Amino acid sequence: MNASALAAHPRAVPPAAPTAAVSTRLVRPAYAALTWVVVFFALHVYWYAGGSFGLNGDLPGLVPDSVAGWIFEVLEGAAWLLGPGVCLAIARGWPRGRMRRAALIVVWLGCTVLIVRGGAGLIDDLTRAVGLLPNGITGLSHKQTMGAAYYRSASALWAANITDGYFLAGGIIFGLLACRYRLSRSPTN
């Protein structure tokens, strides 16, 4: 696109090499978040294929049995699709204009959900373990949260804590990405 075409169309954006404008301060957390999502996805594929390493209980069924379950599945499915796509798009410098704002919203949502999920799980287990709240912040006992077959199993407790820590780490990675992405400037902003 030449200069006269840009003058005639002030909203037109000249094509650019997306990766050339993206700083390493933004690329690294974007690829770290993408890696987090890919590992998370790979573990779930492994578990649904019958693997049990790191699994602290039975997986829920693939077909929900309530309206709330279906709503959750749709939202979770959207996250599975948006997560890697947004991380890759940010790393490559693709979002521009309104899509940039949408990408930032998705990253902040991911950060919030992951931090709440991981942090709540760790706090719940910690308050139970130290005796501060016998049933944790959820009001559920270890037996209720872990299931009778896994109750007091050291491997199940470690797996649960590592899982909660993994969620918290993902939230921190997505938070770092969101902060750096918000502070970065795209060529069109």
In a domain, 5, yes or no: no
Reported as a pLDDT band with limits 50, 70 and 90, residue 154 is: confident
In a domain, 153, yes or no: yes
In a domain, 6, yes or no: no
Please determine, for residue 7, whether its predicted confidence score (pLDDT) is greater than 90. Answer: no
State the average pLDDT over residues 109-134: 91
Please determine, for residue 53, whether its predicted confidence score (pLDDT) is greater than 80. Answer: no
In a domain, 29, yes or no: yes
In a domain, 110, yes or no: yes
- Number of folded domains in the chain? 1
Structural domain for 34, as ranges: 23-52+62-183
State the average pLDDT over residues 23-33: 92
Is 160 buried (19+), middle (13-18) or exposed (0-12) by CB count in 10 A? buried
Q: Can you give the pTM of this predicted structure? A: 0.78
In a domain, 76, yes or no: yes
pLDDT of residue 15: 45
What is the C-alpha to C-alpha distance for residues 37 and 12, in angstroms, rounded to an integer?
Answer: 34
What is the C-alpha to C-alpha distance for residues 145 and 91, in angstroms, rounded to an integer?
Answer: 38
In a domain, 179, yes or no: yes
In a domain, 48, yes or no: yes
Contacts by 136-140 with C-beta closer than 8 Å and gap 24+?
A: none
Please determine, for residue 171, whether its predicted confidence score (pLDDT) is greater than 60. Answer: yes
What is the C-alpha to C-alpha distance for residues 102 and 95, in angstroms, rounded to an integer?
Answer: 9
